[in-house]
Structure formats: structure tokens, C-alpha cells
Chains A and B, each alone.
Chain A
């Protein structure tokens, strides 16, 4: 665990310059419901990727690969915006 800094050592205005620091906080632990992605049904429209507030939809070369469960908070927006005719994402209760 890092040594806690004194007030004189902190950046002015509490600005965070460490861009990687946010990755240490695995917000996936907050989930109550998890999105489940069906690869066969997915038409790769990328609407879920556009809307995801946590950037938790994984893309490789513009192709949907799945969901990053380390950071997905289970808000359900991806399931909501997936076209009704496609329904490639459904929300299921998170098993503890």
C-alpha cells in the first residue's frame, strides 16, 4: 500500500495526472445485475459501445468481443439500447 502523502505533497486543485490510477478501482464489484452478451445474435452495430458510460464494451478492430466485467457496473444501458429486433444483451442477476 502506498505511503499516504502530506497536504504539501499533493497536486494543486487535487488534479490527478496518473492516468492509470483509475484502473486500480475495479468498479465491477458494484454490480447487482450483469449484462450477458450473445455473440451469435450480435450484429456489431456498436450502439452499446457508444452508450456504455464505463467503456466496458470490448472492441478489437471495430468488432464487439464482449464485456469487461472488471469495470462494468451493471447499469443495463447496453441491454436497453441494443436494437429490439436483435436483443443480443440481456441482464441477469449477479451471482455472489
Chain B
């Protein structure tokens, strides 16, 4: 940790949690309300050592639960402060009611999530069930393929949240990214400060000359209109997100599109995935391409908003889009991301076949062989034109 104090542009070997904590440090939030949960604990724990060492100006509030962590962030943000926190799994689930409040109040809170499965049974390892279960809360959600992307995404998230006036989740795969060491390139404090600028809050509780009521009761005559306005905030988010991504790429040289294609030229079939599995799939694509198979992988980075038009523009080129979902949402139908992709592609004619695959629950490994098998199946589906209506489970006994 000592070398973080040097600051400036560095190339370091750091875990995802370390990288996220450092990104938070460089953003120097006004308030961090923290509660520990595996595998996100280190983010707020490492950040607390920055606080103790006087490296940030942050007011650090160790609270009694994740629900309180989000409540404290909401209070702080409503007072015009830049507020951040980090959690995972049950912690994110515990703060569930407050997530809707943060979004309804249009507060630009940034939260790191180290994606972890939801109980029961109790499992501390990676899947996407925690964030996906909160997809209706009104938060923007960014899923990172690498810890480098996690670092960059925290910084981008501050600017995204503050241009959309919506809270943002930055998700890194629990343990896979959060605890594994990766080569990280950091930016200079000064450059980050100039990129994120100063928060211009919509309103503040601290302005006693202009007192306000925050989250008043809204009866049947006005609630609907307020929610319609909030929906518009999410509708307007995509261009603002892309603007931040493009500014970041211009200034700092790293570009993370909202949806990204890897070797999809002339591909008949592609896999769609989020998070670290995209990286594994890219390696499989390289191997299969070397054997002459026309396959590619698409990475979805922005899960909320649901970028339907981008999906249409991307997927209309392919005959089969195999969706790899690291969550089972117990709908008794296909997996969540597959449901959303099919819905987005509804108006396309002809439309690709969209088989649904659930994998990796509770940290179950997905291997290169697993992904190669999925590609084989997708190629078969392409040849037979046979639609797969039910969900397939990859890697379960």
C-alpha cells in the first residue's frame, strides 16, 4: 500500500479492491459511509487507511449496516456532498429499499460492488445476482471486465452520476477481479480532479436561506408524474455516459465502449457476456478463429440503462447470439440478460436466435472448454436454425 502514497501516474501490481479504493481516494469524496462484507470489505477498509493517514478530506462514517451506509450516503448527497460506498451480495440486498430512494432523489452517489452471489445458501463467491436483482432501482450499472476497467470506471462514474443526476454502481467480479492481482496503470491526482471537477448539486439541505423538503409524501395525484420524470433521467443517460467515456478516452487513452465487439467481423455466431468472463471468451475466440470458426464475443458494459438501440445495431449482424448470464433470476423462463436482449430485438426482422445460458453461479468456474462448447452449440443452432426456448446451464452437475 505504501507505493500508493507516491501518487501520480504509476504502473503497479494491485488487486481490484486496491485499485477501486485508490480510485476513490483520488476522487477525494466528501463522505464515505462504510460497512464491510466479503468480497468488498477491502475497498472501504483500504480507504479507511487513507483517511487515517490524512491522505483524503473524506468524512468517514463507519455505520451499523449496509442499509445505514446507503442512508448516510443519501443524507450526505442531499446535503450537497460527494458520497461513495462499496458493498456486495447481502449488503446490496439489505440496502435495497434505499437504492430506490437514492435514484428517486436523483442523487449522484457512486457505489462499488464486488459482485457476489445472494444467499440462500450462503456463498461468498462471484455471480451477478446482487446487482441484477437491483436492476429496477433506477441506478446506472457498469460491469467491468478487468480491475483496470474498475479503476477507470470509478472515476468515470463520478462524472456520469453528476451529469445524469442518477446514482451509479460500478461492479467488479467478486474474488475474480476484487482479489486477484493485475497490472494497473494509475492516473495523476491533478488530472483526475480536473476531469471530475466540482460537484454541482441539484439542491442542498444545508442552504438554510432556501429550506427544502426532501422526499415529501406524494399522493395519487403526483407520484406518477415524478416517476415519469425519473424515467426520463434514465432515458437521457446513454448519450451522457458516452460523452464521459469519450472524454476519458481522449484525455487518458483508455476507451471502454458501452457495448464492445471482439473479432465479430464476418461472425455468424457470438457470445454476449458481462464482467471478467468476457476476457476468458476473448481467448477462446482467438483459438477458434485460428481453427477457422467464425465466432466473436460481445461485451456488455452498461447493464442499466438497457441500451436497446445499441443491441439492435450490434446484434442484427449475427444469426445467433448466445447470452451468458451469471445469474438465475428464478423467472422459470430464460435468464435475465437473455430476456432483455430478446425484448430489445423484438422489432428486428429477421432477428437472431438468442439462446440463454446460465453459468458460474456461486463462483463456479467457467473454463475455456466450457465457452468453446457453447460456441459449438451456437454454431449447430446456426446450421439447424433450431430455436432454443429453454435455458441451458453451463457447468452444473
Measured CB to CB, the residues of A under 8 A from B are 4-8, 10, 12-17, 19, 21-22
The answer on a CB contact under 8 Å between A5 and B225 is yes
Find A15's partner among B214, B221, B232 (CB 8 Å cutoff): B214
A-B contact pairs, 14 of them (CB 8 A): A4-B221, A7-B228, A7-B232, A10-B229, A12-B165, A12-B233, A13-B214, A14-B216, A15-B105, A15-B203, A15-B213, A16-B213, A17-B212, A22-B213
CA distance A14 to B100 in the complex (A): 13
CA distance A4 to B225 in the complex (A): 10
The answer on a CB contact under 8 Å between A13 and B225 is no
The answer on a CB contact under 8 Å between A13 and B165 is yes
Shortest distance in angstroms between B240's beta carbon and chain A's nearest beta carbon? 15
CA distance A13 to B224 in the complex (A): 13
The answer on a CB contact under 8 Å between A14 and B218 is yes
B211 contact set on A, CB distance < 8 A: 19
Shortest distance in angstroms between A46's beta carbon and chain B's nearest beta carbon? 23
Nearest opposing residue in chain A for B107, CB measure: A13
Find B202's partner among A4, A12, A19 (CB 8 Å cutoff): A12
Find B105's partner among A5, A6, A13 (CB 8 Å cutoff): A13
B116 contact set on A, CB distance < 8 A: none
Q: Looking at B105, B203, B213, B216, which has the most chain A CB atoms within 10 Å of its CB?
A: B213
The answer on a CB contact under 8 Å between A13 and B213 is no
CA distance A21 to B212 in the complex (A): 11
Shortest distance in angstroms between B375's beta carbon and chain A's nearest beta carbon? 46
Shortest distance in angstroms between B365's beta carbon and chain A's nearest beta carbon? 43
Assuming A19-B211, A22-B213, is B165 touching A10 (CB within 8 A)?
A: no
B215 contact set on A, CB distance < 8 A: 14
Given contacts A14-B218, A19-B213, 12 further A-B contacts (CB under 8 A): A4-B221, A8-B229, A12-B229, A13-B104, A13-B106, A13-B214, A14-B105, A15-B213, A15-B214, A16-B212, A16-B213, A16-B216
A4 contact set on B, CB distance < 8 A: 221-222
Find B226's partner among A10, A19, A22 (CB 8 Å cutoff): A10
A5 contact set on B, CB distance < 8 A: 222, 225
Q: Looking at B165, B203, B221, B229, which has the most chain A CB atoms within 10 Å of its CB?
A: B229
Shortest distance in angstroms between A69's beta carbon and chain B's nearest beta carbon? 21
B95-113 vs A, Cβ < 8 Å mask (1 yes, 0 no): 0000000001111000000
The number of chain B residues touching the other chain, given as a range, is 20 to 34
Assuming A5-B225, A7-B229, A8-B229, is B203 touching A13 (CB within 8 A)?
A: yes
> B194 on the interface (CB 8 Å rule)?
no
CA distance A6 to B214 in the complex (A): 20
CA distance A95 to B221 in the complex (A): 31
CA distance A22 to B202 in the complex (A): 22
The answer on a CB contact under 8 Å between A13 and B216 is no
> B347 on the interface (CB 8 Å rule)?
no
Shortest distance in angstroms between A87's beta carbon and chain B's nearest beta carbon? 35
Interface pairs A-B: 8 shortest CB-CB: A16-B213, A13-B106, A7-B225, A7-B228, A14-B226, A13-B105, A7-B229, A16-B216
Assuming A15-B203, A16-B212, is B222 touching A10 (CB within 8 A)?
A: yes
A12 contact set on B, CB distance < 8 A: 106, 165, 202-203, 229, 233
CA distance A13 to B232 in the complex (A): 12
CA distance A17 to B213 in the complex (A): 7
Q: Looking at A10, A13, A19, which has the most chain B CB atoms within 10 Å of its CB?
A: A13
B212 contact set on A, CB distance < 8 A: 15-17, 19
CA distance A58 to B202 in the complex (A): 35
> B210 on the interface (CB 8 Å rule)?
yes
Shortest distance in angstroms between B161's beta carbon and chain A's nearest beta carbon? 13
CA distance A16 to B117 in the complex (A): 39
CA distance A15 to B214 in the complex (A): 5
CA distance A21 to B264 in the complex (A): 58
The answer on a CB contact under 8 Å between B104 and A14 is yes
B218 contact set on A, CB distance < 8 A: 14
B221 contact set on A, CB distance < 8 A: 4
B222 contact set on A, CB distance < 8 A: 4-5, 10
CA distance A19 to B221 in the complex (A): 20
